């Protein structure tokens, strides 16, 4: 078969790619987005532990890039109205359909933000990608109703062995978690003075290990990441495995709200159980947890004693002396309120 290919560039961007075969001439501008065939808008799914092995079939039409290409399709879900800002990947394939078991789907929609045992609106879309030099083609979102069952959510994690914990990659209390399952990991770690650490993909040194590749950069099998801290303290660590970057920021936590007369009451790190605590007098009212130092996030209630960003206020039923504990050892973060 005779084939003639040409590429035209400007100094700033790729303009056109074309290939002429005996049958058809293809142009990179002839994009056709995939279209989700199943599920359909308005479908309702009730997930239960008894049906965990059942599956949802997601099917779609072929994405066209203007030339024959090996296309990778990614299926994402997100809570309706979030514009896929916190999209969760549920499958990846080069086929035009995939089956996702309900156990995986349940875990994914809980990560996306659905409350267990409560019907919620979920959007689903398919992304098509050939390579980083061509735009990703996305389907229109299909909106369905899903009810998740209550189960402990499994989040992707990395381990952070270092001088502050005896260089132990198997320590499950010094981990980083990806809350959106998007290979961006975060964790709150208490570092001793002059801490050095690395990041591993398993509770061992091999096969996946990342270290410093320069200021703020990660590198596979790189050197120690040096915190250069003169005193011990709590730090927020973020590791982006997609971009191979990291950040380490000192943080502190407090509670504040009507139950504290809107005065910030600091929490103190407890080395024995690796939690943050305070014993204080509270009035009848509400409060939230507030971070200072790395984005100043606010944590409120989500489900039970679980916390989420900008969640609901925590209710103090009556005035009295209380012990408040914030557990940041793993995501989802949790709290206790006792007297």
pLDDT digits (tens, 9 = 90+) for 241-292: 999 999 999 999 999 999 999 999 999 999 889 999 999 999 999 999 999 9
Percentage of residues in the chain with pLDDT exceeding 70?
Answer: 91
Percentage of residues in the chain with pLDDT exceeding 90?
Answer: 83
Question: Which among 331, 325, 338, 330 has a CA at the least distance from the CA of 268?
Answer: 325
Q: How far apart are CA 279 and CA 247, in angstroms?
A: 32
Burial class (CB in 10 A: 0-12, 13-18, 19+), 271: exposed
Q: Give the pLDDT confidence score for residue 180 in this predicted structure.
A: 87
Q: How far apart are CA 204 and CA 292, in angstroms?
A: 33
Question: Which among 323, 337, 328 has a CA at the least distance from the CA of 297?
Answer: 328
Confidence of residue 184 (pLDDT cuts 50, 70, 90): very high
Output the DSSP codes for 226-270. Answer: E---SS-EEEEEEEETTTTEEEEEE-EEEEESGGGTT--EE-EEE
- Residue pair 219/240 in contact (Cβ under 8 Å)? The answer is no
Q: How far apart are CA 61 and CA 37, in angstroms?
A: 7
Cis peptide before 256 (omega within 30 of 0): no
pTM of the model: 0.78
Q: Given the DSSP bridges, would you call strands 142-147 and 44-46 parallel, antiparallel or unpaired? A: parallel
Q: How far apart are CA 101 and CA 53, in angstroms?
A: 6
- Residue pair 60/74 in contact (Cβ under 8 Å)? The answer is no
The torsion defined by the Cα of 137, 140, 142 and 143, in degrees rounded to 10, comes to 120
Burial class (CB in 10 A: 0-12, 13-18, 19+), 139: buried
Q: How far apart are CA 46 and CA 160, in angstroms?
A: 38
Q: Give the pLDDT confidence score for residue 100 in this predicted structure.
A: 97
Residue with tokens 């971009």: 243
β-pair partners for 126: 75
Tell me which H or E stretch contains 106: helix 102-112
Question: Which among 211, 207, 194 has a CA at the least distance from the CA of 160?
Answer: 211
Q: What is the mean pLDDT of the chain?
A: 91
3-state secondary structure of 339: coil
- Residue pair 128/73 in contact (Cβ under 8 Å)? The answer is yes
Give phi and psi for 194, each to the nearest 5. 55, 45
* Mean pLDDT calculated for residue range 118-143: 95
Q: Give the pLDDT confidence score for residue 29 in this predicted structure.
A: 59
Tell me which H or E stretch contains 112: helix 102-112
Tell me which H or E stretch contains 104: helix 102-112
Examine the pLDDT at 20 and tell me if it is beyond 70.
no
Q: How far apart are CA 258 and CA 68, in angstroms?
A: 62
Q: Give the pLDDT confidence score for residue 302 in this predicted structure.
A: 85
- Residue pair 105/177 in contact (Cβ under 8 Å)? The answer is no
Examine the pLDDT at 308 and tell me if it is beyond 60.
yes
Q: How far apart are CA 305 and CA 295, in angstroms?
A: 23
């Amino acid at each position: 078969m005779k084939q003639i290919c040409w590429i035209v560039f400007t100094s700033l961007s790729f303009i056109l790619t074309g290939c002429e075969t005996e049958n058809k001439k293809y142009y990179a501008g002839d994009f056709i987005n995939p279209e989700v065939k199943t599920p359909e808008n308005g479908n309702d799914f009730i997930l239960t532990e008894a049906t965990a092995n059942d599956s949802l079939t997601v099917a779609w039409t072929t994405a066209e890039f203007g030339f024959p290409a090996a296309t990778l399709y990614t299926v994402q879900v997100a809570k309706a109205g979030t514009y896929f800002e916190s999209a969760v990947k549920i499958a990846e394939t080069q086929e035009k359909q995939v089956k996702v078991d309900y156990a995986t789907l349940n875990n994914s929609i809980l990560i996306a933000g659905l409350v267990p045992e409560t019907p919620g609106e979920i959007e689903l879309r398919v992304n098509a990608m050939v390579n980083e030099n061509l735009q990703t083609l996305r389907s229109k979102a299909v909106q369905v109703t899903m009810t998740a069952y209550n189960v402990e959510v499994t989040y992707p994690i990395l381990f952070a062995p270092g001088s502050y914990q005896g260089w132990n990659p198997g320590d499950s209390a010094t981990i980083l978690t990806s809350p959106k399952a998007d290979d961006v990991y975060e964790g709150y770690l208490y570092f001793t003075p002059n801490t050095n650490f690395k990041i591993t993909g398993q509770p061992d040194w091999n096969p996946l290990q990342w270290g410093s590749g320069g200021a703020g950069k990660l590198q596979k099998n790189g050197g120690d990441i040096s915190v250069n801290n003169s005193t011990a303290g709590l730090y927020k660590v973020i590791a982006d495995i997609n971009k191979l970057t990291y950040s380490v920021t000192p943080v502190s936590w407090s509670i504040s709200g009507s139950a504290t007369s809107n005065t910030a009451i600091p929490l103190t790190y407890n080395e024995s159980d690796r939690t943050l605590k305070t014993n204080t007098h509270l009035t009848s009212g509400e409060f939230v947890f507030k971070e200072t130092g790395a984005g100043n996030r606010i944590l409120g209630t989500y489900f039970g004693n679980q916390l989420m960003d900008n969640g609901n206020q925590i209710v103090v039923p009556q005035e009295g002396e209380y012990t408040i504990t914030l557990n940041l050892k793993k995501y989802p973060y949790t709290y206790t309120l006792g007297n």
